[in-house]
Amino acid sequence: SSGSDENDVVVIGGGPGGYVAAIKAAQLGLKTTCIEKRGALGGTCLNVGCIPSKALLHSSHMYHEAKHSFASHGVKLSSVEVDLPAMMAQKDKAVGNLTKGIEGLFKKNKVNYVKGYGKFLSPSEVSVETVEGGNTVVKGKNIIIATGSDVKSLPGITIDEKRIVSSTGALALSEVPKKLIVIGAGYIGLEMGSVWGRLGSEVTVVEFAADIVPTMDGEVRKQFQRSLEKQKMKFMLKTKVVSVDTEGNGVKLTLEPAAGGDQTTLEADVVLVSAGRVPFTAGLGLDKIGVETDKAGRILVNHRFGTNVSGVYAIGDVIPGPMLAHKAEEDGVACVEYIAGKEGHVDYDLVPGVVYTHPEVASVGKTEEQVKALGVDYRVGKFPFLANSRAKAIDDAEGVVKVLAEKETDKILGVHIMAPNAGELIHEAVLALNYGASSEDIARTCHAHPTMSEALKEAAMATYDKPIHI
């Protein structure tokens, strides 16, 4: 397969960072090999992350709408049921088709694909224990580490992926749990909690911190939490999980206030541990070649994604920065461009973040808290979807657009959207921030009517002037 002939680029890991880097390298005319241990391309994102979660979010939303909203739109159904095996099969089909699609892209671009576990022998040689059982050595002038991340375990909690599950187990439960407890109120916990809540689970989210999704704009977060509470998601904030034990057919949690105090217990059928993710470098042999990591285990890189070892690079979840698939992809392209002698650039301040609940929450740039901390004089423009005609027409009008702009120059500093489809709406703002636009630039851009996007235009108007429709 790989042979002993040297590659220009060897990528370890076939996730969104690694496979994109491999394709881009091949497109730039570099001889490229990608090594992936999973036996399927696409990494965490495609196999057990972004894609299967969005499949289940969509299917569970359809069920929930059919059960609770169709009638008010004049669509009568005699009964609505969940067929969980069929729902899981649709998810698996989507994942299967997409992973095979990447294999096709590798063939098309002539990326050599080696299935197996990679381990450094030297800064230019990787030994691979192949999935078929053999061993091969892959050589490269440049080696990119794109080994991604793994679920963060909590002390004293053993994940069995049946009753005490990580996000991976939560994407493949064989029945709808009556009671689900989610440990950690980050976006993954809230998305998975939403899926099972819509399918009928009573969901309680336990979080050590005082707030859900700590990176979110505070004002938007409050509205978002209220919306989730209306959907019957319960929150226990500032709460510490002391222990989680399987008991009979269920699970028992012992909790105490984060600040200390009396312990309480909670019972559930399934507990999802989603307290974050950690860089994955096990078995890679980093110490053997002397690659530097920080205290959190992340590989340290310079602005060209080079590690301290010449010819060895790192991208994606395994380095500092937002742990998101699109950020990993941008890293991959920029890293390979540098290797090819070109320029590359990724601005981590302009990586959009999306929570794919209903409504979704999407943001780019700074939160109001961050703007305040910078000491910049700023203006805020807001527009509620209750005043947006398209949202009213389809009776899905919960949410708001919030634009933050510098007072003196009107330059946009951050945009936060809570709305159905906010994850699509945000990109107009992402582009605006990348071009250093002012809020007036957005407000004076003609937007089609009736669309949800008009809410962004009106919020932009409200930033430096008055909106029309409220």
The correct pick among 284, 301, 419, 443 for binding ligand FAD (CB under 6 A) is 284
Our finding on whether 146 is near ligand FAD (CB under 6 A) is yes
Q: Which residues have a Cβ under 8 Å from the Cβ of 230 and sit 6 or more positions away? A: none
Closer of 169 and 381 to ligand FAD (Cβ):
169
- Cα(299)–Cα(306) distance, integer angstroms: 10
Query: Taking the complex as a whole, how short is the minimal distance between the CB of residue 92 and ligand FAD, in angstroms?
Result: 15
Q: Is 357 in the site for ligand FAD (CB under 6 A)?
A: no
Among 24, 37, 416, 457, binds ligand FAD (CB under 6 A): 37
Strand-pair partners of 164: 271
Tell me: is residue 21 an annotated ligand-binding position: no
Q: Which is nearer to ligand FAD, 391 or 433 (CB)?
A: 433
- Closer to ligand FAD by CB, 148 or 399: give it: 148
Site for ligand FAD contains 325 (CB under 6 A) = yes
Among residues 90 and 243, whose Cβ is nearest to ligand FAD?
A: 90
Q: Binding ligand FAD by CB under 6 A: which of 2, 15, 275, 411?
A: 15
Beta bridge mates, 355 = 361
Do 390 and 453 meet the contact criterion of CB atoms below 8 Å apart? no
For every residue of 64-116, DSSP letters joined together read HHHHHTTGGGT---S-----HHHHHHHHHHHHHHHHHHHHHHHHHHT-EEEEE
Q: How far apart are CA 14 and CA 185, in angstroms?
A: 28
Host H or E run for residue 247: strand 239-247
Least Å from the CB of residue 30 to ligand FAD: 19
Cβ at position 411, least distance to ligand FAD in Å: 27
Is 405 annotated in some ligand binding site? no
- DSSP-derived secondary structure letter, 300: P
Q: What angle do CA 14, 193, 203 make, to 5 degrees?
A: 155
243 touches 393 (CB < 8 A): no
Decide if residue 149 touches ligand FAD (CB under 6 A): yes
Residue 295, helix vs strand vs coil: coil
Tell whether residue 111 is a contact of ligand FAD (CB under 6 A): no
Q: How far is the CB of 91 from ligand FAD (least distance, A)?
A: 12
Tell me if 38 contacts ligand FAD by CB under 6 A: yes
For the CA atoms of 169, 172, 43, 98, what is the dihedral angle to 10 degrees?
A: -170
The smaller minimum CB distance to ligand FAD, of residues 172 and 387, is found at 172
**Would you call 58 a catalytic residue per the annotation?**
no
What amino acid positions are annotated as catalytic residues? 449
Q: Which residues would be at the binding site for ligand FAD (CB under 6 A)?
A: 12-18, 35-38, 43-45, 49-50, 53, 117-118, 146-149, 167, 188, 280, 283-284, 316-317, 323-326, 328, 356
